[in-house]
Amino acid sequence: MSTPIPQPPGLPVLGNIFDIDPSNTWWSLKTLAEKYGEIFKIKVLGHQIVFIASAALAEEICDEKRFRKYVGGPIVEIRYSVHDSLFVAYEHEESWGIHHRIVAPHLSPESTAGHFDEILLCTDELIANWKTHGATKFQPLKDLNNLNLEATTLSLFGKKLGVIGAAEEHPMIQAMEDATSEAMKRPNRPKLLNWLVYGGKFKKATKVMRSFGAEIVKYRHEHSTGRKDLLSALMNGTDPETGKKLTDEQVIDEIVTMPIGSSTAPCALTSLIMFLLENPEVVTRGREELGRVVGKDQLHHDHLDRLEYIKGVVRETLRLSQAAPGFNIEPIPKTNGDKSPVLLQGGKYQVAHNQPMIIVLAGVNRDPEVFDEPHKFKPERMIGENFERLPAGVKKWFGNGKRACIGKHWAWEFLEVVTAKLIKEIDFEVVDSNYVLKQDGWFNVRPIDFYVKAKARA
């Protein structure tokens, strides 16, 4: 007999609607995972969702022979802004394959390596700014958001925005936050309320994002340099299988999607700064490696493969920050119409044949069955054989399988470059020694109300 899946007690009709804070969904799920363990479920307005919070179950439902990405809830809502782009395309849509075959070659490890100098240039600009102006307290997330947007736009689209060091975040950043937060909240509201009260915010944010995409295209038309980057592929590329090209609208869809996807990186880096302040021995060991590998030279791309400890720092940051907080899975429908329950862990649990499931990485990545001292920041567990021995279920920072983040190689290089430069060149000072981590976020999560001071390394 299978084990019942735990569920918080709920209310008639409304179900568990008050167990989830719509303004901080992922923090609510983290709290529930800590209480209920490896698997739990909730029901909101008649809709049931199952959540996975252990490494073993996460690994099982990432088996692409049995399960696939679930496009529903907030992911369906954000289609209002980006239509059938890579991140939100349904399994049956032809567009996913067309977009993927056009985009993927320009986000491969080889292509990403070609953008190293541009990522480094943007990072150096931010570090120079912090060395000059970081003596007063500031929220690093705001500056890192601008850095990420600058590096994404320059390396993938060939346009320098000039926002690093700006007093305010670029409007695209607020628009992305408004759109994704609204997409997260809409499934749990009556449709009439979404239309009457909240539709204007969604439309305004979408207009800002798509105007940003249109400006990128316009800039390329006016400044054609023969640059063969991702933008060139979006505008001119042809799918090798179908011979189709992207429409003008689809080009903008993907231009908007890329910064939304990469917005997890500054969230992770903000968490990294917090981890470094809490673990000064990590800074010491990181600087020792950087001194040995890089020395007094400028960081070069060929240094990255030799920075094993820095790689461990990045992996451990991704594990504990879970900047991309989870992803959606559903059983692959059986071709014979079989609607029998799906068995998990050899029958220990059962779910319906069409049951949406969400992997909660805050639980999976702290699984005590895998990690000793799971809440402690220990980069050494993410290096060499220690890392290789870890189960695949705790390495899903960029999603899973064919629907994993297509920009994962770019994101990794960006994170490794910025991490190396921050450890090598900046001394951070905590502003509030009593700060306790609190996160919010929608398609990503980040520390909130977190302030630091920064200065050039002595």
Secondary structure (3-state) at 79: helix
Q: What are the CA-CA distances from residue 396 to residues 188, 272, 304, 323, 412 (Å)?
A: 27, 18, 22, 12, 13
For residue 153 the two structure tokens come to 């736009």
435 Cβ neighbours under 8 A, 6+ residues apart: 274, 449, 450
Element (H or E) spanning 49, and its range? strand 47-52
Q: Is the dihedral of CA 16, 21, 23, 28 positive or negative?
A: negative
**CA–CA gap between residue 113 and residue 88 (Å, rounded):** 27
Tracing tokens 């439902």 back to the chain, one arrives at: 61
Q: Is the dihedral of CA 366, 368, 369, 372 positive or negative?
A: positive
**CA–CA gap between residue 308 and residue 351 (Å, rounded):** 41
For residue 152 the two structure tokens come to 């994404």
Tracing tokens 């010491």 back to the chain, one arrives at: 284
Query: By C-alpha distance, which of 291, 330, 323, 329 is closest to 310?
Result: 291
Element (H or E) spanning 343, and its range? strand 342-344
**CA–CA gap between residue 183 and residue 171 (Å, rounded):** 18
State in Å, rounded, how far the first CA of the chain is from the last one. 64
174 Cβ neighbours under 8 A, 6+ residues apart: 205, 208
Tracing tokens 């302030």 back to the chain, one arrives at: 451
**CA–CA gap between residue 325 and residue 360 (Å, rounded):** 6
Q: Cα 288 from chain centroid?
A: 30
Asked if 169 and 256 count as a contact pair (C-beta separation under 8 A), the reply is: no
Q: Is 405 assigned a ligand-binding role in the annotation?
A: yes
For residue 363 the two structure tokens come to 């639980």
For residue 136, what is the DSSP state?
S
Q: What residues form the annotated binding site for heme? A: 405
Q: What residues form the annotated binding site? A: 405
